[in-house]
Structure 1
Amino acid sequence: MSETRAPYGQAKYQVRLDWGATGAERIVPGAHVAVVVDVLPSPDGEAIAAALAGRDLVVLEGSLRNRSAVARRILELQEERGERLMVAIVAAGERTGGRAGSEVGGSDAHSDAVRFAVEDQLGAGAIVDALIALGIDHTSPEAAVACAAFEGLRHAAVHLIGASASGAELVAQGRRPEVRAATEVDASDEVPSVG
């Protein structure tokens, strides 16, 4: 069975979602656009975006701050192409080594494993929500669940992200303003593109 036909590839859906670099490899085949979602300052999203650059697809960086701008950019690309675009949304998560480098297990031996990150779940869901609002709505179950999480928890996002493991770690480092800024929905029209 080819990778794009495998169930985990979500190939039959226009909007797909998976986690980390390994998840990106599952859902990117056949996609025209990849959106890497890394809500809080972290090198994980940058590494995933860099790994996807140079392939035959557009790589965008998305978050809560630019969710609607990302959706509009995808719609523009679809209109330019004149056909339905396949969109791979990659929630960065965090490698299990943590931000400090090697908290879990005492080494980076498991650096390929990804820890679920509340902020990236909400950010990915926010982008799916914005795509649906523009009519790009043939979503995989994974994307639909992330969207429902954002819709249901949108008003609690500031608290949830600040209280999450990633947010609490940054707040303890004196970076509360960065965490707060990351929770601002539609605060930016900038859509960074990689590659």
Structure 2
Amino acid sequence: MGTPHSQHRHRIRLDWGLQGAQSVVDGADQAVVVDVLSFTTTLTVAIDLGAEVYPYQWRDESVVEFAEARDARYAVGRFKARESGPLAAVSLSPASLRTATGLKRLVLPSPNGSTISAALRDRGVEVVGACLLNRAAVAAHALDHLHEPGRSVAFVAAGERWPDGSLRPSVEDLWGCGAVLSAVLADQPALADELSPEARAAVAAYDDIAGALRTALLDSASGQELVEAGFRDDVLVAAQLDSSRAVPVLEGERFADTRHRAATGIGA
């Protein structure tokens, strides 16, 4: 029997950040991590390039040694990459990553989605990376789990960080969770009865802005932060709904592509 914060009475759950993730995955079979701006968007771009992606704790100096031991490149922050010029190492910017070549293995640190994914590695759940790009593909993958009686899926809205390190719930991650869930319900409306109130709120939030998704994402606090810093293209990439069929699943240390190939019709 879980605690009230695990939302164990519901097969489809949602909570925020690292602490919320650790609570809501209690008893779950699958965790869908959503960090739209930008870990899971960058992850999906890298997977589409054919790379394996290693999530890693943010600003841990051991990342260099970790990457070298796996013959992998590691991503630096957007600003550091820009300061280094056009030949800089790859970064968390999904727009710039799309131009990368020869990328086979990538260590991708981030303070939110990557850190959460790494922390859930040993919790006995399948960890999936989701964003707006691959929401239909992830929805189909989640439905595979939910078709089996008794299985549950925990959605994790990664959120952002205030300067003091505390969690800043960010609306784009709520929309991202809601986008995946909206696709799930479009295929299986009866699953609406399985949603926790938190998951139900994400669907409502997404449905409210679905017709103006790109504008909403650009106007959000996180979107404006990136626009003002000169990374508008990252927001535009993140808004490309259903442009990828990648389903990044954490296998051991790294995310690999487990594409949903069944003819579900979702996102068609």
Query: TM-score with structure 1 length normalisation?
Result: 0.85
Matching residue within 23, 26, 46 for 1:29: 26
Q: Which amino acid is the alignment partner of residue 157 of structure 1?
A: L
Cα deviation, 1:123-175, whole Å, max 9, x if unaligned, reads 01111112222324310011001101111211122112112121111112221
CA distance in 1, matches of 2:233, 2:171: 18
Q: Would you say 1:146 and 2:146 are equivalent positions?
A: no
Residue aligning to 1:190: 246
Q: Which moved more, 1:127-136 or 1:141-150?
A: 127-136
The aligned counterpart of 1:38 is 35
8 Å Cα contact 1:118/1:160 also seen in 2 = no
* Contact 2:145–2:152, Cα closer than 8 Å, also in 1: no
Query: TM-score if structure 2 supplies the norm length?
Result: 0.63
Q: Identify the residue that residue 100 of structure 1 maps to in structure 2.
A: none
Bigger Cα Rg: 2
Match of 2:229 in 1: 173
1:39 alignment partner, SS class: coil
Aligned counterpart for 1:92 among listed residues 158, 162, 174: 158
* Paired residues of 1:71 and 1:134 also in contact (CA < 8 A): no
Partners of 2:210 and 2:239 in 1: CA distance = 10
How many residue pairs get aligned? The number is: 177
Deviation at 1:84, TM superposition (A): 3.6
Specify the SS of the correspondent of 1:35.
strand
Please list the CA deviations of residues 9-41 of structure 1 after superposition, one character each: whole Å capped at 9, or x if unmatched. Answer: 210101100000011112110000000000012
| Counterpart code for 1:118 | V
Distance 1:128 1:75 in 2: 10
Q: Report which stretch shifted further, 125-134 or 23-32.
A: 125-134
Equivalent position to 1:67, from 135, 138, 154 = 135
Contact 1:52 1:59 in 2 (8 A): yes
Tell me the distance in 1 between the aligned counterparts of 2:173 and 2:143.
22
The one-letter code sitting in structure 1 at the alignment partner of 2:123 is R
CA distance in 2, matches of 1:67, 1:123: 8
Which contiguous aligned blocks of 4+ residues in structure 1 show a shift greater than 6 angstroms? none
Counterpart of 1:8 (choices 5, 25, 29) is 5
Report if the CA contact (8 A) 1:16-1:140 is conserved: yes
Query: Identity over the aligned pairs, expressed in percent?
Result: 42
Q: CA RMSD, aligned part only? A: 1.6
Q: Is the 8 A contact 2:36 2:132 kept in 1?
A: yes
DSSP 3-state at the match of 1:158: helix
Q: Which runs of 5+ in 1 are unaligned?
A: 98-107
